[in-house]
Amino acid sequence: MPPRTKKPRIQVILFPTDFSGASIHAAGYALSLAEKYKARLRVVHVMETSREARGFYLPHLSFDRLDEEMRASAKDMLRKFVETRFKGFPDIETDLLEGEPYKEILKQVKAVDPDVVVMGTFGKARVDRVIFGSTTERVMRKSPCPVLVVPPPR
């Protein structure tokens, strides 16, 4: 008889969200795993700032102010998402990141060393996915830990 497979210990779950319907659906899976394993849940959102546009001459626009407003709005959205989707769960951390989503998520994987990443299939345009690959696909390909990809509800 072959030896029994050792069950993985899940102590830290990384859950990136873009607040889409797919993320909302995947949040249920992340919460279920966190409750079952009594794991810490780290919820992150990656915001893209106006930094790329700073090379243009637009005197009527303050990019610093725009970024501050975007940051404040994103923090509020993250807070509301967590309050709604993970209400009452005690061991949760949140973080607002800035940059290219898949790169920032992979940096979090390296920094936090989660036992699993739970993500929905992100809702970007199909053309972007065909040309560049989706955030979820890139994270899945490059992550050193398992990635649970939750498809949108049917």
- What pLDDT is attached to residue 65? 76
62-91 pLDDT, tens per residue? 667 777 888 899 999 999 999 999 999 999
User: What pLDDT score does 50 carry?
Assistant: 57
Contact between residue 74 and residue 45 where contact means Cβ atoms under 8 Å apart: yes
- 118-146 pLDDT, tens digit per residue, is 999 855 545 444 444 588 999 999 999 99
pLDDT digits (tens, 9 = 90+) for 14-48: 999 999 888 999 999 999 999 999 999 999 999 97
- Residue by residue, DSSP assigns 49-67 as -GGGGTTS--TT--HHHHH
Whether pLDDT at 55 is above 80: no
- Domains in the chain, CATH or no CATH each: 12-150 (3.40.50.620)
- As a residue count, the chain comes to 154
Q: Count CB-CB contacts under 10 A for residue 124.
A: 15
